[in-house]
Amino acid sequence: MKSKVQNPKSKINIFLIGSIIMGLGNFFCARASVDFKTFPEPKEDLKAPADAGNQVMVVAGGCFWCTEGVFENTPGVVDVVSGYAGGTKETADYETVSTGTTNHAEAIRIVYDPKKTSFGKLLKVFFSIAHDPTELNYQGPDHGRQYRSAVFFANDDQKRVTEMYIRQLNDAKIFGTPIVTTVEPLNGFYSAEAYHQDFVKNNPFHPYIMQQALPKVEKAKKAAAATSQPAEK
């Protein structure tokens, strides 16, 4: 489980220990990973008007440190905020959510430029890189409903595209077991405490980040580089 120490900027800078932790993270993530290049694109996507401004999507996939780090390295993403979704404003704080007694999930709000990416393309990153959508109410070492896999839809179109993509992935048997991601209405998003924001950037030597987040971030960077390469003639 992630530390609840109030000063998360303390770092472990011993190179040998860091290398071992990073190696373990890469090993376990590699075992559960899928190939982004061959991972299916959504058959249906949202088409924003030509003059549309930035769009927003909210997802949850375990620890928000990890999912935030992935999408901060995804092309077309303008901003990512860690926070809580699914519960009430009164219970939207880290200590309360961590008890697992609220309806909140650790979530992220993604602001993206529809001229550079799309809702569907970001769903692909979410399902193929950001987390394992077949783990029910946990992700890796983090257990509890606050770590569930979820897409919080802001409108019927987001709901429709998400549900169709989940059905598409299940029908194609992309994963060994069915996807358990919930599709829930977005009734509110509440930003997490300041020290949670940009946690991967600010704490690259934190043991949890090295083991759980950095392997996913590296996959996101490789996926971004691959998609930005010009097509072969």
Active site residues: 63
Alpha carbons 137 and 115: distance in angstroms, whole number: 34
Map the chain to HEC letters.
CCCCCCCCCCCCCCHHHHHHHHHHHHHHHHHHCCCCCCCCCCCCCCCCCCCCCCEEEEEEECCHHHHHHHHCCCCCEEEEEEEEECCCHHHCCHHHHCCCCCCCEEEEEEEECCCCCCHHHHHHHHHHHHCCCCCCCEECCEECHHHCEEEEECCHHHHHHHHHHHHHHHHCCCCCCCCCCEEEECCCEEECCHHHCCHHHHCCCCHHHHHHHHHHHHHHHHHHHHHHCCCCC
Q: Which of 204, 220, 230, 199 is nearest to 22 (CA)?
A: 204
**Burial class of 181 by CB neighbour count within 10 A (0 to 12, 13 to 18, 19+):** buried
